[in-house]
């Protein structure tokens, strides 16, 4: 949880748990009902939502600070998880503040 904004490889995480990547994925999915990548993306998007509400950074700055290397991936995952684009989310926040 403390390293979500850094590059995290499945091999590194599996190595920490002394499991093979396949065994780690199976173990993780059995416990969380989500793949490791899906869980990591949800954590990153959750943090991005928090930053969008608290900070006046650009969407690109927030995406990169949350561990996404590609803005289009960030936008796609954000819409998939939140149900709207980051821009729509940020605009709704501004309307609610007014």
CATH code of the domain covering residue 52: 1.10.10.60
3 part of a folded domain: no
The boundaries of the domain holding residue 15 are 10-97
Listed as own residue / partner, the contacts of 85-90 with beta carbons closer than 8 Å and 24 or more positions apart are: 86/48, 86/52, 86/59, 86/62, 87/59, 89/49, 89/52, 90/52, 90/59
Asked if pLDDT for residue 98 goes beyond 70, the answer is no
DSSP-derived secondary structure for 27-45: HHHHHHSS-HHHHHHHHHH
CA distance 59 to 63: 6
22 part of a folded domain: yes
pLDDT confidence tier of residue 3, bands split at 50, 70 and 90: low
**Which pTM was predicted?**
0.85
85 part of a folded domain: yes
Q: What is the predicted pLDDT for the residue at 5?
A: 72
62 part of a folded domain: yes
CA distance 90 to 98: 13
Q: Per-residue pLDDT tens for 48-79?
A: 999 998 878 899 999 999 999 999 999 999 99
């Amino acid at each position: 949880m403390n390293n979500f904004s850094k590059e995290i490889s499945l091999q590194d995480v599996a190595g920490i748990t002394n499991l093979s990547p396949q065994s780690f994925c199976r173990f993780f999915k059995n416990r969380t009902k989500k793949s490791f990548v899906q869980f990591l993306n949800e954590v990153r998007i959750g943090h991005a939502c928090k930053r969008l509400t608290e900070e006046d950074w650009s969407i690109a700055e927030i995406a990169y600070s949350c561990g996404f290397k590609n803005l289009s991936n960030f936008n796609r995952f954000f819409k998939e998880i939140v149900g709207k684009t980051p821009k729509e989310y940020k605009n709704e926040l501004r309307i609610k503040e007014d």
